[in-house]
Amino acid sequence: MLPLTDAVKPRRFPWVTVALVGVNVAVWLAYQLPAGLEESVDEIGFRACSVAGDCTEPTRSWLLTATVSMFAHGGWAHLVGNMVFLVVFGIRVEDRLRPARYLLLYLVSGYAATALQGGVELAWMTDEDTNIPGIGASGAISGVLGAYLVLFPFTRILTVVLPMFFLRIPALGLLPVWFALQALEGTYGLAHPEEEFAGIAFFAHVGGFLAGAVLATLMASESWPRALGRGSGGRATAPV
């Protein structure tokens, strides 16, 4: 499934979302392509072993790589796919939270994603696995998805379902399914370490999503969980 748009025009220009897309694209074009993919990932990728201090080779500080790796990608498809999700969901989340809170949510979600993925690797994976560098904006963007769910649960999102079906699916029907798949695939990967999962950090998606949902709930009084708590039936945002 690939989300395209929720067809709702924001009230303000999404400066932060545009800037985040620009930074991600700039890191790819100005640094990763000239340096080479393997070299750039090795240089700025986050390694869980750096937190434990037992990497097999010298690495940069874990705080630096946890930050910079949020803006690096493993290829054109990785970059474009992440930016599509960021634009589709980020525009309205930024519009609701305003730029400063939205940027804070994005960054904190990215750190939470890295923390959960790194913690899982240190607790259950081999030393070889904890030395593998991780990159990508998907953890932070997962936080934007979590925020979208609690802010706009009934908004319908135009979604492409392969091979070429177009459906308008409420966020409450789309995003929990996506989240469940990340958690299930991550858990399955831990139980079957011999199988290849194309290097996808599923627990980063889980950590980012949960962080974004919690932060958006705390930041916005009209978020769905807080509306339910007030006994309003949960319709914090009218269906679109």
Q: Is the pLDDT of residue 207 over 90?
A: yes
Tell whether 234 is covered by a domain. no
- pLDDT for position 240: 31
- pLDDT for position 235: 43
Say if residue 34 is exposed, middle or buried (CB neighbours under 10 Å; 0-12, 13-18, 19+): exposed
The CATH number of residue 191's host domain is 1.20.1540.10
SS3 call for 126: coil
Tell whether 142 is covered by a domain. yes
> Residue 155: which region, alpha, beta or left (left: phi > 0; alpha: psi -120 to 50)?
beta
> How many domains does the chain contain in total?
1
- The 10s digit of each residue's pLDDT in 66-111 is 999 999 999 999 999 999 999 999 999 999 999 999 999 999 999 9
Tell whether 182 is covered by a domain. yes
Q: What is the pTM of this model?
A: 0.92
pLDDT-based confidence at residue 1 (cuts at 50, 70, 90): confident
Tell whether 236 is covered by a domain. no
Q: DSSP readout, 219-240?
A: H-TTSHHHHHHTTSTT-SS---
- The 10s digit of each residue's pLDDT in 51-64 is 999 999 888 999 99
Tell whether 238 is covered by a domain. no
Tell whether 23 is covered by a domain. yes
Spatial contact of 107 and 69, defined as CB atoms under 8 Å apart: no
Looking at the chain, the whole-number percentage of residues with pLDDT higher than 90 is 74
pLDDT-based confidence at residue 239 (cuts at 50, 70, 90): very low
Task: Identify the domain containing residue 116 by its residue range.
Answer: 2-229
Tell whether 145 is covered by a domain. yes
Q: In the numeric block, which tokens belong to residue 115?
A: 């923390």
- The 10s digit of each residue's pLDDT in 117-145 is 999 999 999 899 999 999 999 999 999 99
